[in-house]
Structure 1
Amino acid sequence: MKKELHFERAEFAARVAAVKSEMGRRGIDILLLSEPANHNYLTGYNAYSFYTPQMVIVALNHDEPIWIGRFMDRISALMTTYLTDENIRAYSDRYVQSALSPYDFVADVAKELGGEKARIGVEMGGYYYSARAHADLVRALPLAQFVDADVLVNWIRIVKSPAEISIMRQAGRIADAMMERAIDTIEPGVRECDVAAAVYHQMMSGTPEFGGAYACTPPYLCIGERQIAPHAAWTDEPLPASTTINLELFGNRHRYQVNLSRSISVGKPASSYYKLADVVVEALNAGLESVRPGRTCSEVEDAFRHTLARHGFEKEARLGYSIGVGFPPAVGERTASLRKGDQTLLRPGMVFHMMPGLWLDDVGITITQSFAVTDRGHEPLTSTPRKLFVK
């Protein structure tokens, strides 16, 4: 059976070793991971199967992680992970959407690893760790001590390897192709849903060199009055002769996602909107130029904020967030943010989406840049010009 692995075994081993080191520092014997992005990061696992309970277990006394999932998804674990057969565990279908709890199965595997009285870390804030999951595990392992290990792996993921950065460059090129396709498609009379369809086609088609994959979220087409809503959905209405479109797209390659937003004016916009675009781009560039290893996320946000303030504007939301491996519902790693007060030190290999979107009372504008922190500054991961596009 052909393995669909995108990294060398040595890289996976280094990731697991880093997680075990942090577990040891925190006194955690067994780590139960529910987040699909962390499953992918530590094992390579990739399938749309996380709508049923799924876990990866990392134990200090066990060499490899153990994947646990539904019986029919075992084949995907064999195809997409480096794990040996004995470390791929599948529960039967009788556990799926029934009165039985698959977390009893998870608990039994944990017991094999000495988890009956162990200190067990769980992702209390994870999107895929429910209150029922926690209650069932506590019931099944009453003598264990459960501790919150949320974002333990996420903070290790925050610094990307050269191999990861290489894949994210490809994701950025897909995002550029998607944006180019969207801008080419946008014309008066074209239905909003047909713009979305063109974007989706390009998302999957990718570039002539490599294809894409589904993103963590749908693309956002914030059109007309919805330009002041950051995460609006499209309709089947035709585009009018004069309107504004705020478009946020996501290129995804091997589950690594790069975000890209641009504002497109259908018809000539007001002169004040041109000026607003110039202000946002000036502040965005100031933020990017301030990026250096050793500076804090807060210092980068400060450079942006002060530039914006000179023109009389203020951005209430954070300026950006760390990105990388992504599964629905969101690509953000839930770690560092480019915001006032975040003292996270920038390190080479970190990747952020700098999102200086402004949603004002009657207009919105989104011109953004995803970038990797380098030894001397930053590397843009997309090449679409940072400007207002006019059709």
Structure 2
Amino acid sequence: MATKCSAIPLTGFPFPRSEYERRQHEVLEAVASARLDALVVSAHGHLRYLSGYDGSGGYFAPFPLIVVPGRPPTYVIREYDEQAVRAYSCVNEIVTYTQQHDFGKVCAEVLRRHGLQSKRVGFELGCWSLAPADVGALQAQLPELKICDATRLVSSVAAVKSGLELEFMRDAMRMTDVAVRTFQNSLREGVTELEMAAAMAAAIEAEASKAGGEVSMTPSNILFGERTKLPHGAPTQHRIKKNEPAFLEVGASKHGYMVGLVRCAVLGRHAETESLHGLAEDVIEALVAAVKPGASAGAVDAAGREVLKRSGRQGAFRQRSGYQTGINWTERGDLSLEPGAEDILKTGMTLHMPNILCSESGYLFGTGAHVLVTERGAEILSRTPHTLYRA
């Protein structure tokens, strides 16, 4: 593991410096293609992608990474967090501010130093971690600055994974599969959602320790019985009874690369959710078959909706069909499989496709696939079947 602060244990960035330089170079090519003079990156996932540092100190004010052709990238950060940024990032050029109200002035000075005060500069206006007040503070300092929306720019580059990134994601998926198998093997009458979460976490910890302890599990959506009607529900002391459904959405993560799955089960029989799951399986199979280089995100989404339309139950699906994954998969502006989306799939992209359907009485139930786009189509990364598990 590379590190800039060798005196501090367990710091450094997970990839070789050359990997971050490659990413920065490709982002600069995208900056040129967008006819921008520079890019101000503020989304935490994008900061981590380009530098190694996760941007976690930026809750106070933005920690922008300023990327300019022909110059090394510059971080503008809070002085308090300087040591952490130096320890966890590959960026050498760091400028600090102290108080929140200093951000606009200091960041504007860096842009002015780069000769950008009247240029076209891209900002991630549609991502988290950049407030309208932040943009206003900069504009007040640089009234001739041409602020352009570059929300999709970094994500379009990050959507295509390198071999090193895919190694991390495959390792994370092996742990996700461990969590799913533990969920299935531990499902019994009377077990609580929290007990299930604890069993899964213990299994992940045991497996991860064999692999150097670099993989962790994110908080899971584990819901039993009537509680499967809740979206994004956290586990509680609720116990599962005979002839009830069980819902799981879980993802293991390695160095921020999360790989998730939706898997469901029934303890005994439950006709309503069993029927719903059967339809979700058909939709997932259609989505996977539609994934290939050159296909549009909208066309993949449409393949799944066509199955729903033929079933006469298209109202059961109330969300998008999937989204790109990698570092911080909940970033706004990432590629999305939704109606009319024009993004073109490329070899090396990874996609999570959770098909969660809603029954007439409100149960949320289904299955999913996490895939890699290859020249031959979709490679399913998980080794646990997408079919319904019956305990």
TM range, normalised to the smaller chain? 0.7 to 0.9
1:43, 1:65 within 8 Å by CA — same for their partners in 2?
no
Using the TM superposition, give the Cα deviation of residue 332 of structure 1 relative to its aligned residue in structure 2, in angstroms.
Answer: 5.0
Using the TM superposition, give the Cα deviation of residue 51 of structure 1 relative to its aligned residue in structure 2, in angstroms.
Answer: 1.7
SS at match of 1:367: strand
Equivalent residue for 1:305?
Answer: 305
1:213, 1:255 within 8 Å by CA — same for their partners in 2?
no
Counterpart residue identity of residue 91, structure 1: Y
SS at match of 1:356: strand
Q: Distance in 2 between matches of 1:255 and 1:118?
A: 34
State which of 78, 88, 97 in structure 1 corresponds to 2:94.
Answer: 88
Equivalent residue for 2:232?
Answer: 231
Q: What's the % identity of the aligned pairs?
A: 26
1:154, 1:333 within 8 Å by CA — same for their partners in 2?
no
Normalising by the residue count of structure 1, what TM-score does the alignment of the two structures yield?
0.88
1:147 and 2:145 are equivalent in the alignment:
no
Gaps of 5+ in 2: none
2:297, 2:345 within 8 Å by CA — same for their partners in 1?
yes
Counterpart residue identity of residue 345, structure 2: L
1:338 and 2:337 are equivalent in the alignment:
yes
Q: Distance in 2 between matches of 1:198 and 1:268?
A: 21
Pair 1:317–1:227, CA change in 2 (3 A) = same
Equivalent residue for 2:356?
Answer: 357
Using the TM superposition, give the Cα deviation of residue 386 of structure 1 relative to its aligned residue in structure 2, in angstroms.
Answer: 1.1
Provide, for residues 27-79 of structure 1, a one-character-per-residue CA deviation record: whole Å limited to 9, x for no partner: 322321110111111111136323222111111241x2112223332222222
1:223, 1:243 within 8 Å by CA — same for their partners in 2?
yes
1:55 and 2:64 are equivalent in the alignment:
yes
2:76, 2:96 within 8 Å by CA — same for their partners in 1?
yes
Equivalent residue for 2:215?
Answer: 212
Gaps of 5+ in 1: none
Using the TM superposition, give the Cα deviation of residue 333 of structure 1 relative to its aligned residue in structure 2, in angstroms.
Answer: 5.8
Q: Distance in 1 between matches of 2:205 and 2:153?
A: 32
Pair 1:248–1:117, CA change in 2 (3 A) = same
Using the TM superposition, give the Cα deviation of residue 195 of structure 1 relative to its aligned residue in structure 2, in angstroms.
Answer: 2.5
1:170, 1:253 within 8 Å by CA — same for their partners in 2?
yes
Q: Distance in 2 between matches of 1:184 and 1:76?
A: 41
Pair 1:71–1:333, CA change in 2 (3 A) = same
1:168, 1:258 within 8 Å by CA — same for their partners in 2?
yes
Using the TM superposition, give the Cα deviation of residue 206 of structure 1 relative to its aligned residue in structure 2, in angstroms.
Answer: 5.3
Q: Distance in 1 between matches of 2:202 and 2:83?
A: 28
Provide, for residues 179-199 of structure 1, a one-character-per-residue CA deviation record: whole Å limited to 9, x for no partner: 223333443323322323344
SS at match of 2:65: strand
1:247, 1:366 within 8 Å by CA — same for their partners in 2?
no
Using the TM superposition, give the Cα deviation of residue 214 of structure 1 relative to its aligned residue in structure 2, in angstroms.
Answer: 6.2
Task: Describe how 1:199-348 pairs up with structure 2 within 5 A.
Answer: 199-202=200-203, 207=208, 208-210=210-212, 211-213=214-216, 215=218, 218-265=219-266, 267-314=267-314, 315-326=317-328, 331-332=330-331, 334-348=333-347
Counterpart residue identity of residue 268, structure 1: G
Q: Distance in 2 between matches of 1:382 and 1:172?
A: 6
Provide, for residues 355-379 of structure 1, a one-character-per-residue CA deviation record: whole Å limited to 9, x for no partner: 1110122232121111110011111
Equivalent residue for 1:29?
Answer: 37
> Structure 1 stretches (4+) deviating beyond 6 angstroms?
none
Provide, for residues 254-306 of structure 1, a one-character-per-residue CA deviation record: whole Å limited to 9, x for no partner: 111111111122x3123454343233213312221232212222332333233
Provide, for residues 189-231 of structure 1, a one-character-per-residue CA deviation record: whole Å limited to 9, x for no partner: 233223233444555665322432464xx42223322323332
Pair 1:229–1:103, CA change in 2 (3 A) = same
Q: Distance in 1 between matches of 2:36 and 2:310?
A: 49
Counterpart residue identity of residue 258, structure 2: Q
Pair 1:26–1:201, CA change in 2 (3 A) = same
SS at match of 1:116: coil
Provide, for residues 148-190 of structure 1, a one-character-per-residue CA deviation record: whole Å limited to 9, x for no partner: 2112111111111122112111121121122223333443323
SS at match of 1:317: coil
Equivalent residue for 1:19?
Answer: 27
